[in-house]
Amino acid sequence: MHYETILYQVTPDKVATITINRPEALNSFTLQMRREFEHVWATISEDCNVNAVVLRAAEGRAFSTGVDVKLAATENIMGSNNLWNGTDPGDSLGPRANKMWKPVVTAVHGLCCGGAFYWLNESDIIICSDDAQFFDPHVSYGLVCAVEPIGMSYHLPLQQVLRIALLGNDERISAETALRIGLVSEVLPKAELWERAHVLAAKIAAKPATAVQGSVRAIWESLELPRTEALNHGLRYCLVGNPVAAQEMDVAAARAGDKKYELR
């Protein structure tokens, strides 16, 4: 598939990088972008040369401002003119909605609002630059703010989610506040953001793929299960995945070698 709204590349360290590439429209998403994300997530799922993903956006004022409202009058972002066949954009944009279990490190700069939370809500690690600002303007424009904050509620305390949803355009979350409330795990100067995201993804990609992907899948699927069932479900993944993962590395050497780590 020829991509028109995203850039895609894979490096020898088994990291795939997806760049949202509509800077002239604040990296807002369109129906075409929905289709391209569906394709790229499926491609990554089946590519054994990809073990981790960096999601970022082309340089400019925004990581993404959500749906392209200027095209809303000419295209149906729900994907179908049939009332019962339309789907939420998150069904296309999010890796988990597309059953893609390789870890995703998302690097946010500038404005990140509204539908952009579809990506954040299904990312495994989110970092941002010090100029990042997060908000959701739906209610300020007379629109129910529901799907994005519901997804966010699995990451953030309910009070924080409601404050973002209800204040709309009247308040923005700074990078510092995003770090404090747990929306992101690291804040960096903008010039260092992309490199740092790649470093994190490459460290993950170097680990046994079966162990990493089994961990991602078990943890995400647990969110939809009661506690005991989630624990039992996760145990089954351990029993299935651990023997395979052990064949993907020299376990004895890993345990005997010097431990090198960052202190966060």
Domain assignment present for 1: no
Considering 163, 186, 205, which residue would you say is the last residue of a domain?
A: 205
Determine the pLDDT at residue 19.
98
Domain assignment present for 262: no
Are residue 12 and residue 76 in the same domain, yes or no? Answer: yes
Q: Is 6 helix (H, G, I), strand (E, B) or coil?
A: strand
Are residue 141 and residue 219 in the same domain, yes or no? Answer: no
CA distance 94 to 79: 15
Are residue 60 and residue 188 in the same domain, yes or no? Answer: yes
Are residue 105 and residue 196 in the same domain, yes or no? Answer: yes
Domain assignment present for 25: yes
Are residue 121 and residue 222 in the same domain, yes or no? Answer: no
Domain assignment present for 53: yes
Considering 205, 228, 243, which residue would you say is the last residue of a domain?
A: 205
Domain assignment present for 234: yes
Are residue 58 and residue 86 in the same domain, yes or no? Answer: yes
Are residue 199 and residue 243 in the same domain, yes or no? Answer: no
Domain assignment present for 251: yes
Let me know if 162 is exposed, middle or buried by CB neighbors in 10 A (0-12, 13-18, 19+).
middle
Determine the pLDDT at residue 7.
98
Cβ-based neighbour number of residue 88 at 10 Å: 17
Structural domains of the chain, count? 2
Q: What is the pLDDT of residues 131-145, one digit of tens each?
A: 999 999 999 999 999
Considering 162, 190, 205, which residue would you say is the last residue of a domain?
A: 205
Domain assignment present for 261: no
Determine the pLDDT at residue 261.
87
Cβ-based neighbour number of residue 241 at 10 Å: 19
What are 145's strand-pairing partners? Answer: none
Are residue 149 and residue 237 in the same domain, yes or no? Answer: no
Q: What is the pLDDT of residues 41-60, one digit of tens each?
A: 999 999 999 999 999 999 99
User: pLDDT band for position 232 (50/70/90)?
Assistant: very high
Total residues found in the chain within this entry:
264
Domain assignment present for 75: yes
Are residue 161 and residue 248 in the same domain, yes or no? Answer: no
Let me know if 238 is exposed, middle or buried by CB neighbors in 10 A (0-12, 13-18, 19+).
middle
Q: What is the pLDDT of residues 169-215, one digit of tens each?
A: 999 999 999 999 999 999 999 999 999 999 999 999 999 999 999 99
Which CATH number is 80's domain given? 3.90.226.10
Q: Which amino acid is at 143?
A: L
CA distance 33 to 29: 6
Host domain of residue 235: 209-256
Q: Reply yes or no on whether the pLDDT at 236 is more than 90.
A: yes
Are residue 201 and residue 216 in the same domain, yes or no? Answer: no
Angle, helix 227-246 to helix 209-222, in steps of 10 degrees: 170
Are residue 137 and residue 215 in the same domain, yes or no? Answer: no
Are residue 72 and residue 149 in the same domain, yes or no? Answer: yes
What are 50's strand-pairing partners? Answer: none
Q: Reply yes or no on whether the pLDDT at 73 is more than 80.
A: no
